[in-house]
Chains A and B, each alone.
Chain A
Amino acid sequence: MSALTFTLKIELKQRLDCSPLTPGALAGKGAAEIAGIELQCGNRKLRADAVFDISGSDSDAIVVSKASAKLDYIGKGMESGSITVEGDAGSYLGLLMKNGVIHVSGNVDAYAACEMKNGEICIEGNAGDYLGAALPGDKKGMQGGVVIVKGDAADRVGDHMRRGAILIEGNAGAYLGARMTAGTIAVMGSVGAFPGYAMKRGTLLLLKSPGQLPATFNDCGTHTLGFLPLLLKGFQGYPTRFGDLADQVKRVRRYAGDLSGLGKGEILVVA
């Protein structure tokens, strides 16, 4: 059985809501039924077969081919299976995702992995603002799972994040891990201003010194922490270089904060 493939065949003028195209929602549906699914595009609805060439039948392994940054809500709330995006994805990728795997070969827009509960998202390109964050007005961001970004991530990564791990192999923007409740964000590259702003608990693991930290973080000194190899070993098997660091990253400089609030979070900078 070949993967159920949606190949974008028109140039979208408005953004398209792809949330009905998840493995769970398409399970057991025939080709005609899938072709007739209505997708919201701007202020009107389009049939799936008016937007995509549809081939294959394995709804557990969906492929979105020739994808564009106008495709929003890919994998929204998905509970199983996999979605492979060949190209870029729009906003809200993996919003409220409960399980399964999403792989994007290009870039994604804002709010990817927002309020995600579990599963795995791998983005080969860059990610927009509010990766793994809470939706505006909500208080609980990402609550589980693993998000891997091979490129850079923009601002407010992990805003209000509650659990899980975000691994950024490139650089991250400003307000990394702002208002975090718990969880782990690791960055190989540089980070922007105000990392850990108002974080309550949680861990920011930085492989490069952030230069200047907020004044509300206090230096706890340099330490060899036994949980770091265990944590990094936990990423082995995921498509990320962080798993390879299990034998290398043990010694870190620990900064506790944000002391203007609860102050039980930490920024660990690899020594």
Chain B
Amino acid sequence: MIINGVHIDPTFAEAFPMKATRVIITAQNLKWAYHSANAFTGFATSVIACGCEAGIERELDPSETPDGRPGVSAMIFAMGGKGLAKQLETRAGQCVLTSPTSALFAGIEGGDRIALGKNLRYFGDGFQISKRIRGKRYWRVPVMDGEFLTEETTGMIPAVGGGNFLILAESQPQALAACEAAIEAMKKVPNVIMPFPGGVVRSGSKVGSKYKSLNASTNDAFCPTLKGQTKSELSPEIESVMEIVIDGLSDEDIKKSMRVGIQAACELGAANGIRRISAGNYGGKLGPFLFHLQDIMA
């Protein structure tokens, strides 16, 4: 398949089951909501070493937030419920509780309930106040700027992590430009996050390593500088490969975001050095979800 001169590989992205939750972070204004959410989702690019993957999903209008203030929704994914609960609590405590004017609410109503403010409330040292509003419990924790308002729990649901596609270009700036265009388009799709910095990862990995202590290592088949040294997947004109990784609440959400992302990259086309779209395919070692690029783009 060729779109605007860009070859779409007959391959698939391979993804795995995860657990996910969404939170709503509000603040006095969007600037401070972003400060809090950026800290909350920081260092959460890959479960390989971060314990979770997290990202900002979208901005929220005051009419969409529980307390009527500007805010953002963020999602956090982990390999299991325990890991997710731990990461959520740590990040909420260090990054939202501490952030001026912030408040923290659940973004998912169904699923299993995990602690949001349930334990953070103890920061109030006995001065915390519980309020039950419309069947939901909230905590008012006295802090130096006023009160930190948080919901007791949020919902945890099954999700899909590791959806991906690779953009192969003639140069590094061209690969990055295509990725930026893809991310801009994908940000408009709900229920997904792209957890890497700016949504883009340059260090795509393969499963395993020659070093026993590592369970992932550089995807040498897609490293342009190794074309002559390894069994490369790259033709001579490819000088740069970048990957976009997607976590979503369902495989359908991931498919939708992959489609708009690949479409946006292809719009730049071969004229702008974009030559191929491929995907991280680990031969079934990574997970049960297979996203065939040609089916998605059909």
Contact = CB atoms under 8 A, between A and B. Distances in A.
A230 B133 contact: yes
Interface in B245-292: none
Contact of B129 (A163, A164, A201, A226): A201
Contacts of A184: 131
Interface in A211-227: 223-227
A264 B67 CA distance: 24
Interface string A222-249: 0111110111011000000000001100
B131 A226 contact: no
Given A233-B68, A247-B68, A226 B127 contact: no
B68 A234 contact: no
B16 to A, nearest CB: 37
A246 B134 CA distance: 14
A182 interface: yes
Contact of A227 (B126, B127, B131, B134): B131
A144 B69 CA distance: 28
Contacts of A227: 67, 131, 138, 140, 147, 149
B132 interface: yes
B93 interface: no
A218 to B, nearest CB: 13
Interface in A249-271: 264, 266
B67 A226 contact: yes
Given A201-B129, A227-B140, A246-B68, A234 B134 contact: yes
Contacts of B133: 230-231, 234
Contacts of B134: 234
**Size class of the B contact interface (CB-based, 8 Å):** 10 to 19
Interface string B130-148: 1111100010100000110
B146 A225 contact: yes
Interface in A148-199: 163-164, 182, 184
The winner among A163, A182, A230 for most chain B CB atoms within 10 A is A230
B68 A224 contact: no
A230 B146 contact: no
B287 to A, nearest CB: 40
Contacts of B138: 227, 230
Contacts of A225: 140, 146-147
B20 to A, nearest CB: 25
Interface string B64-78: 001111000000000
Nearest to A232: B133
A224 B149 contact: no
Nearest to B134: A234
Interface of B: 66-69, 103, 126-127, 129-134, 138, 140, 146-147, 149
Interface of A: 144, 163-164, 182, 184, 201, 203, 223-227, 229-231, 233-234, 246-247, 264, 266
